[in-house]
Amino acid sequence: MRIKLIAFNGRYIHSCLALYYLREELRRRLPGALPELRQFTINDPYYPTLLKIGEDAPAVLMFSVYIWNSELILRLLGDLAQILPATRFVLGGPQVAALQPTHLPDRTTLVHGEVEGLPDAFYTDLIENHLAPQYRAESGRPFPSPYRDEDLAGELSQRQVYYESSRGCPFACSYCLSSVARGVNWKEVARVKEELGFILAHHPKLIKFVDRTFNARPERALAIWRFLAESAGETVCHFEMAPDLFTREMFAFLADLPPGRFQFELGIQSTNPATLRAVNRVMDLEKVGENIRRLATMGNIHLHADLILGLPGDSAYSCRHSLNQVFAMGPHHIQMGLLKVLPETAVNSTPGLLHAHRPPYEVLATSTLDHPTLRQLYWLGECVESFHNNRYFTTFFKYLRNSDWEIAAFFGDLLELCRSRNFFSLAATQELLTGLLADLVRERRDGPLLLEILRYDWLRCGHRFLPAALGESDLTECSRELARSMPPNLDPLYEYRNRSEFLKRHTFSRFSGRALAVFGWSAPGDGVVAFLAEREDSLHRHQKTILLPA
Ligand code: SF4
């Protein structure tokens, strides 16, 4: 029996964990079947995708349906039903509960719940070709790792490897699908280590733990981390963490990790206590701030903080305040995502909440945020995404963090400038971003200093020229001046024999004493910074810098 399992991922590097689970269950329960797994992205061209899925007239096509791909799958089903008159369609995944059977081809079966809990009847009906319209799975069954050597050595070697050491979430935020199914299914730590060891033997670039709250049991999280620290080598590990649930032991462990080995996604959503109460989100805000600041100061873990726009009870003021507070904590990435009002979640019944009627059900307005205000906040979030969430301006934003500039107001001004320059229709190159920031700060009281900081950040990214917006200082002139004035030997940087090579290989720029102080040097006056050809062993891998002796 030819069974094809189809996934549509957001990007090529993603993979669909659910489909690997499904394949393993089919192999286990129907030893004769040879399920074939095919992954596409939602951006692949439609017609060739339709042809590839319909090739060889499979007996059964199974799809994994999420809010981000359900519209595409519905469109495909309509066309596949015409070209594959004998094929049966099976749909599973979190978005299945929201599908209307009347909108689906009549040969469609909906599967609700976890694949490991499907009743035997599903498999016998599948073999006998009389599947019922719907099946419900029991939850809480064991879920062994679904990967095989050939997956990890083949298709997954180019993609992120998803892994879950626990299923479900102990919390119950009213906007989240994980809160609909209660309880958590924890896998034994010994088992987790064994499965991770198998995955790590293939040296994937990144393992993404999809545990909804990885540190819900801190001791358990720490035991898995210790194993990863010993066994993961260069593999980067990504975790979704509750920012208030870090223990002293966790900090002690994390402090010793090499830079970039772990990434944390930290769900904050709002710093408005009334909003958190309204969405049933339990979080100690004081601890959140304290912990993220501490992690940011350690500087070896990439920190991605999530805020949600359009939660019940949030206003323009509280959303801006959340941004100000989270920015002050110092995460590397701040995401201001729109609330998705999923049909089966409790938040859906909030009075005054308007949302798109089709997936992904983005919020349009709430009783405390009218649509124009939400629109403004959305574009503000896009500005944060473009300018803040990269490695280009780390010193610049660090300076703003310690200045009197309210960051929400800063991004508000930047948004106005971006709109006036049609920024959102242009390619957001580092040069364009730098030019806009330079134009925004040029006339400020501390404008000259901010322009120096932008120049420093630009050169730390490895450029050997200056963009027009920062062109006042001539790098060539600085090198010429050094060629005239530098001593013949400068231990440990060069000896007379390689003096000219030193001057050729690296990039030099002069900065004021005030700017040097911002970069962490204390100098009596101006000084020249050398931007070396080598990179730092740090999170952002900027160029190494040294201040040349006066
Ligand atoms: S938002 Fe996060 S913490 Fe809240 S229920 Fe969902 S997965 Fe759990």
Q: How far is the CA of 183 from the centre of ligand 1 (A)?
A: 12
In angstroms, rounded to a whole number, what is the distance separating the alpha carbons of residues 346 and 344?
7
Higher pLDDT, 3 or 32: 3
DSSP label at 362? B
Two structure tokens written together for 364: 């349009």
Cβ of 171 closer than 6 Å to ligand 1, yes or no, is yes
Tell me how far apart the terminal alpha carbons of the chain are, to the nearest angstrom: 78
The pLDDT, as a whole number, for residue 472 is 64
Higher pLDDT, 32 or 154: 154
Cβ of 172 closer than 6 Å to ligand 1, yes or no, is yes
Helix H segments across 57-215? 70-83, 120-127, 149-153, 189-200
Confidence at 74, pLDDT banded by 50, 70, 90? very high
The pLDDT, as a whole number, for residue 101 is 86
In angstroms, rounded to a whole number, what is the distance separating the alpha carbons of residues 116 and 29?
10
Average pLDDT score over the chain: 96
**Pocket-testing residue among 166, 178, 210, 284, ligand 1, by greatest number of atoms within 8 A of Cβ:** 178
Q: List beta partners, residue 510.
A: 528
The pLDDT, as a whole number, for residue 550 is 83
Residue 224 CA from chain centroid, whole number: 21
**Pocket-testing residue among 212, 266, 276, 281, ligand 1, by greatest number of atoms within 8 A of Cβ:** 212
Question: What is the mean pLDDT of the segment spanning 168-182?
Answer: 88
Cβ of 250 closer than 6 Å to ligand 1, yes or no, is no
Q: Kindly report the CA angle at 515 between 510 and 521, in degrees rounded to 5? A: 90
Question: What is the mean pLDDT of the segment spanning 119-135?
Answer: 96
Cβ of 166 closer than 6 Å to ligand 1, yes or no, is no
Q: How far is the CA of 213 from the centre of ligand 1 (A)?
A: 7
Helix H segments across 241-284? 248-255, 273-278
Q: How far is the CA of 95 from the centre of ligand 1 (A)?
A: 17
In angstroms, rounded to a whole number, what is the distance separating the alpha carbons of residues 435 and 457?
13
**Pocket-testing residue among 166, 167, 173, ligand 1, by greatest number of atoms within 8 A of Cβ:** 173
Confidence at 342, pLDDT banded by 50, 70, 90? very high
CA-nearest residue, atom 2 of ligand 1: 212
Cβ of 49 closer than 6 Å to ligand 1, yes or no, is no
Question: What is the mean pLDDT of the segment spanning 234-238?
Answer: 97
Half-sphere exposure of 25 (CA within 13 A, CB side): 20
Neighbours of 317 (CB within 10 A): 11
Q: How far is the CA of 368 from the centre of ligand 1 (A)?
A: 23
Q: How far is the CA of 156 from the centre of ligand 1 (A)?
A: 27
Confidence at 473, pLDDT banded by 50, 70, 90? low
**Pocket-testing residue among 177, 179, 270, ligand 1, by greatest number of atoms within 8 A of Cβ:** 179
Pick from 439, 481, 434, 476: nearest CA to 455: 434
Question: What is the mean pLDDT of the segment spanning 122-136?
Answer: 96
Confidence at 440, pLDDT banded by 50, 70, 90? very high
Does residue 503 contact residue 486 with C-beta atoms inside 8 Å?
yes
Q: How far is the CA of 427 from the centre of ligand 1 (A)?
A: 34
Question: What is the mean pLDDT of the segment spanning 308-333?
Answer: 98
